[in-house]
């Protein structure tokens, strides 16, 4: 055989996250490595976007976590669409939970690290042939211009994805099951649909989430639709038609950024090593990308394989100079194959739970019931996070070998004693709000501020939301902290596109930073826009009506909808309406209409959420001193005071105390209710005269 054009220790095919992490690890250990990649330039598309705890640790260990920039929490996680708090795997883990990071950004950072360590990536080259050559393996690569090169190495690794050429060329045996279900997926700009987390609707499953750039990722499946072989990706028309069938919403006018379809074909190679050829990531196991496990599994495979190859090639792992043989490489297969197999099983189970029609509902119900137990939750969360499960953790503890996590017990973390769900519920039962969390919208001032102060005084960690008045919000936080309470400010203007998404990004980040998880116990929808006085019904413009509805009705609805994934069972939702829904004031008709809508949120969600023990109530203030200059004018106050049966205007704390009652354990038997907190305004004027 003619001398190759290049000879090295390890050839890696595929410059995705697995290939780049592996190449960097090898180079760092002094192993010569070359990467071959068929794409001419790194892709800017992000197939995956979620990092789990074990992956975060691997990146931190390599000193590159910080280079990914500020990562936002990816919400609580799910199992087949059933809420699963991934921090349950190990609440004390420094990266507990899941984190959002576009795959393109991860690849850029891993690529930069590999480059700094001297790794060469040969782009625009496709592997076309493979042959054994003594103690070497020979790879033929062809460039786009048709020229071929011969590369040789002691080992070849296929990190070239689910359609792996290396797997084909090396003749790996595979087992698996063919596709039965398919999901359409698209990133679409210029559409405004509500965020949804794996919402199972009558005809199918839909999920939507807004990216920071304003485009929206939608995924949709119509129950019963069989997977079909596809030569090309779907077009927007097909995705939009299915989306409309399932959700009733139109997205066909949007601009597609990325479109694809994926199915639940399952496949795993029987051996991760065949002589001098090894596989890692999707090349070794193909699965439906449900729950963001594929990327994490791939990175974890690559890290394990890197260690094995370093041990093999440098003799490290045995005595100095010791010939360790192939044992590390066989060890790689023995360690990672069962983990991959287990992941495929859990992913198939999730596919059935998520994309099965109404016939899977009883299984979902039972599983959700089991998942309310700490041990079951910890078991599933550990499997997905790549961490030792509770069984192993307990075993370690018995051995005394590890200060392993005890997901069923509170662990002190960075000065915070974090309780498990069960314990937090216990605290609510005791009548205090210790270890609970609350979001009060519009709590920079007025009734919202008084509510935030009161809930914090009762022990809740409060997210103080505001739109523009940052100073006032910080003052609310400072007032809470002065009294030993805990709070943080979150900005988001409501009533504008992307509002609720922005609110929850800040909320989840704030909660995660302080408690390690994004879980909410209490939601108070208080923020509200009002109309100027003295506008006759004839003068209300369509624009004004739209603005009021956007802030006062649409936003609270979407906030409730979005909060469902964060709210703990047994939680509380309190919507602030107004006595004006029962008391005619023609100048306020538009405002009152929006508040009427808010009361409908209460009515219907109370029924909807009762099975989770979540109460939903309306509190309707009358005229309440919110600190506005109007309340500095004695004559005005006197006139307003006459509306209350008690002959005074309300104080913000009068309303806050009612909210606090509904939020407390004492309010547990009240749901779907309209609570008048107007000082008897609806009874008629004080002294009998209006
Ligand atoms: P307020 O003093 O006027 O304060 C309004 C709060 O809502 C502020 O925190 C404000 O944030 C926030 N907010 C307003 N528009 C917003 C928007 N577009 N996006 C995000 N946040 C926004 O309010 P209040 O008088 O205490 O009223 C609180 C609630 O009670 C409202 O729902 C109101 O309709 C209802 N209510 C009040 C009375 C009363 O007499 N006060 C009577 C009946 C019902 P910034 O500080 O950043 O602007």
Judged against a pLDDT cut of 90, whether residue 493 lies above it is answered with yes
**Is position 685 within any domain?**
no
Question: Of 409, 437, 463, which marks where a domain is finished?
Answer: 409
* pLDDT (0 to 100) of residue 182: 92
Residue 321 sits in a domain whose CATH number is 3.50.50.60
80 lines ligand 1 (CB under 6 A): no
Is 414 domain-assigned?
no
One domain, residues 158 and 200: no
Instruction: For 429-440, write each residue's pLDDT tens digit.
Output: 333 788 899 999
C-alpha span between 14 and 130 (Å, rounded): 15
Residue 428: pLDDT band (50, 70, 90) is very low
Same-domain pairing of 514 and 464: yes
Q: Show the domain range for 242.
A: 182-263
For residues 438 and 543, state if they share a domain: yes
User: Do 257 and 272 share a domain, yes or no?
Assistant: no
| Averaged pLDDT, 99-119 | 93
Q: Is the beta carbon of 623 within 6 A of some atom in ligand 1?
A: yes
Shared-domain flag, residues 457 and 541: yes
Gap between the Cα atoms of 243 and 230, Å rounded: 19
526 lines ligand 1 (CB under 6 A): yes
| pLDDT, averaged across the chain | 88
Report the run of H or E that residue 196 belongs to, with start and end.
strand 196-200
Instruction: Collapse the DSSP code of 646 into the 3-class scheme (helix H, G, I; strand E, B; otherwise coil) and give the result.
Output: coil
- Taking the centre of ligand 1 as the mean of its atom positions, its distance from the CA of residue 565, in whole angstroms, is 25
With H, G, I as helix, E, B as strand and everything else as coil, classify residue 549.
Answer: helix
Q: Compute, in angstroms, the gap from residue 380 CA to the centroid of ligand 1.
A: 42
Residue 460 shares a structural domain with residue 539? yes
- Distance CA(248)–CA(251), nearest Å, equals 10
**Nearest alpha carbon to residue 18 among 100, 114, 128:** 114
Assess whether the C-beta atom of 420 lies below 6 angstroms from ligand 1. Answer: no
Give the residue, by CA position, lying nearest to ligand 1 atom 23.
446
494 lines ligand 1 (CB under 6 A): yes
Same domain for 517 and 384:
no
Query: Sign of torsion, CA 638 640 642 645?
Result: negative
How many angstroms is it from 640 CA to the middle of ligand 1?
18
pLDDT at 393: 42
- Cβ–ligand 1 contact at 76 (below 6 Å): no
Indicate whether 649 belongs to any domain. yes
- 667 and 555 belong to one structural domain: yes
Helix (H) / strand (E) containing 170: helix 165-170
Let me know whether 156 and 289 are in one domain: yes
**Which of 245, 263, 281 is the last residue in one of the domains?**
263
Would the pTM of this model clear 0.85, i.e. be above it? no
Query: Considering only CA atoms, which of 230, 240, 103, 232 is closest in space to residue 185?
Result: 240
Q: Is residue 3 part of a domain?
A: no
Q: Which pLDDT tens digit goes with each residue over 263-282?
A: 899 999 999 999 999 999 99
**Residue 2 belongs to some domain of the structure:** no
How does pLDDT run across 197-213, given as a tens digit for each residue? 888 899 999 999 888 78
The beta strand positions in 295-365, using DSSP E, are: none
Measure the CA–CA gap between 10 and 309, rounded to whole angstroms.
9
Regarding whether 610 and 565 lie in a shared domain, the answer is yes
CA atoms of 272 and 280, how far apart (whole Å): 7
Residues 248 and 339 placed together within one structural domain of the fold: no
- Using an 8 Å Cβ cutoff, are 433 and 664 in contact? yes
CATH no. for residue 641? 3.40.50.720
Q: Which of 142, 141, 139, 130 is nearest to 171 (CA)?
A: 130
Residues 6 or more apart whose CB falls under 8 angstroms from that of 263 comprise: 179, 180, 181, 182, 183, 227, 288
Between 98 and 404, residue with greater pLDDT: 98
183 DSSP 8-state letter: E
Give residues with Cβ within 8 angstroms of 574, minimum separation 6: 522, 523, 524, 525, 616, 617, 618, 619, 659, 662, 663
- Joined together, the tokens standing for residue 307 give 């260690």
Is pLDDT at 420 greater than 60 in this prediction?
A: no
Q: What is the pLDDT of residues 298-346, one digit of tens each?
A: 999 999 999 999 989 987 544 344 456 888 899 999 999 999 999 999 9
Nearest to 353 by CA among 84, 46, 51: 84
Does residue 686 sit within a domain? no
Instruction: Answer with the one of 374, 409, 444 that is the final residue of a domain.
Output: 409
Same domain, residue pair 433 and 464: yes
Ligand 1 in reach of 621 Cβ (< 6 A): yes
Q: How many domains are there within the chain?
A: 3
Q: Is residue 457 in some structural domain? A: yes
**Is 252 among the domain residues?**
yes
**pLDDT, mean of residues 611-636:** 93
- Ligand 1 centre and the CA of 466: distance in Å? 9
pLDDT of residue 290: 79
Measured in Å, residue 403 CA sits from the centre of ligand 1 at 48
**pLDDT over 90, % of the chain:** 67
Which residues are paired to 118 by β-bridges? Answer: none
Q: How far does the centroid of ligand 1 lie from the alpha carbon of residue 530, in Å?
A: 8
pLDDT greater at residue 460 or residue 635: 460
**Minimum-distance ligand 1 atom for the alpha carbon of 627:** 2
Residue 686: band (very low, low, confident or very high) from pLDDT cuts 50, 70, 90 = low
């Amino acid at each position: 055989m003619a001398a190759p054009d290049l000879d090295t220790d390890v050839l890696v095919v595929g410059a995705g996250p697995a290939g780049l992490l592996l190449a960097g690890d090898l180079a760092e250990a002094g192993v010569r490595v070359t990467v071959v990649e068929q794409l001419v330039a790194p892709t800017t598309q992000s197939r995956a976007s979620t990092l789990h705890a074990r992956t975060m640790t691997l990146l931190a260990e390599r000193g590159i976590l910080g280079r990914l920039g500020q990562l936002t929490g990816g919400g609580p996680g799910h199992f087949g669409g059933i809420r699963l708090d991934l921090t349950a795997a190990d609440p004390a883990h420094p990266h507990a939970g899941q984190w959002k990071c576009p795959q393109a950004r991860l690849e850029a950072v891993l690529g930069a690290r590999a480059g700094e360590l001297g790794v060469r990536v040969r782009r625009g080259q496709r592997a076309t042939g493979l042959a054994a050559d003594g103690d070497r393996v020979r790879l033929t690569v062809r460039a786009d211009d048709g020229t071929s090169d011969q590369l040789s190495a002691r080992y070849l690794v296929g990190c070239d994805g689910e359609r792996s050429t290396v797997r084909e060329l090396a003749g790996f045996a595979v087992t698996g099951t063919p596709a039965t279900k398919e999901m359409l997926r698209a990133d679409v700009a210029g559409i405004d649909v509500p965020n949804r987390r794996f919402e199972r609707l009558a005809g199918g499953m839909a999920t939507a989430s807004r990216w920071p750039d304003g485009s929206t990722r939608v995924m949709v499946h119509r129950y019963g639709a069989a997977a079909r072989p596809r030569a090309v990706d779907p077009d927007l028309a097909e995705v939009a038609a299915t989306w409309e069938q399932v959700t009733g919403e139109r997205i066909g006018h949007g601009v597609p950024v990325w479109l694809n379809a994926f199915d639940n074909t399952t496949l795993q190679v029987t051996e991760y090593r065949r002589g001098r050829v090894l596989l890692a990531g999707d090349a070794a196991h193909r699965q439906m990308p449900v729950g963001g496990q594929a990327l994490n599994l791939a990175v974890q495979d690559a890290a394990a394989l890197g260690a094995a190859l370093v041990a093999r090639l440098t003799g490290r792992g045995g005595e100095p100079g010791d010939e360790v043989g192939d044992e590390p490489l066989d060890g790689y297969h023995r360690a990672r194959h069962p983990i991959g197999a287990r992941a495929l099983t859990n992913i198939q189970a999730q596919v059935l739970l998520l994309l099965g029609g109404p016939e899977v509902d009883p299984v979902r119900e039972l599983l959700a019931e089991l998942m309310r137990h700490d041990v079951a939750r910890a078991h599933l969360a550990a499997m997905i996070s790549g961490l030792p499960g509770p069984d192993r953790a307990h075993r370690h503890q018995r051995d005394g070998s590890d200060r392993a996590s005890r997901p069923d017990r509170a662990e002190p973390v960075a000065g915070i004693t974090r309780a498990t769900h069960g314990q937090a519920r216990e605290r609510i039962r005791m009548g205090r709000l210790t270890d609970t969390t609350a979001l009060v919208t519009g709590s920079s001032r007025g009734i919202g501020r008084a509510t935030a102060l009161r809930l914090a005084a009762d022990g809740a960690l409060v997210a103080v939301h505001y739109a523009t008045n940052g100073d006032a919000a910080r003052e609310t936080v400072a007032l809470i902290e002065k009294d030993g309470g805990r709070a943080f400010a979150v900005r988001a203007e409501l009533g504008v596109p992307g509002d609720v998404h922005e609110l929850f990004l800040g909320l989840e980040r704030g909660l995660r930073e302080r408690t390690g998880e994004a879980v909410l116990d209490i939601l108070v929808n208080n923020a509200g826009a009002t109309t100027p006085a003295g506008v006759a019904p004839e003068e209300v413009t369509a624009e004004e009506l739209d603005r009021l509805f956007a802030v006062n009705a649409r936003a609270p609805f979407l906030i409730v909808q979005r909060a469902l994934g964060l709210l703990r069972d047994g939680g509380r939702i309190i919507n602030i309406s107004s006595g004006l829904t029962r008391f005619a004031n023609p100048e306020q008709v538009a405002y009152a209409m929006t508040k009427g809508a808010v009361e409908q949120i209460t009515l219907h969600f109370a029924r909807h959420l009762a099975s989770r023990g979540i109460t939903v109530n309306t509190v309707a203030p009358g005229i309440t001193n919110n600190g506005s200059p109007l309340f500095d004018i004695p004559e005005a106050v006197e006139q307003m005071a006459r509306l209350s049966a008690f002959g005074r205007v309300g104080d913000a704390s009068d309303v806050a105390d009612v909210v606090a009652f509904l939020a407390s354990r004492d309010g547990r038997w009240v749901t779907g209710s309209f609570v008048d907190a107007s000082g008897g305004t609806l009874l008629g004027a004080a002294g009998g005269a209006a």
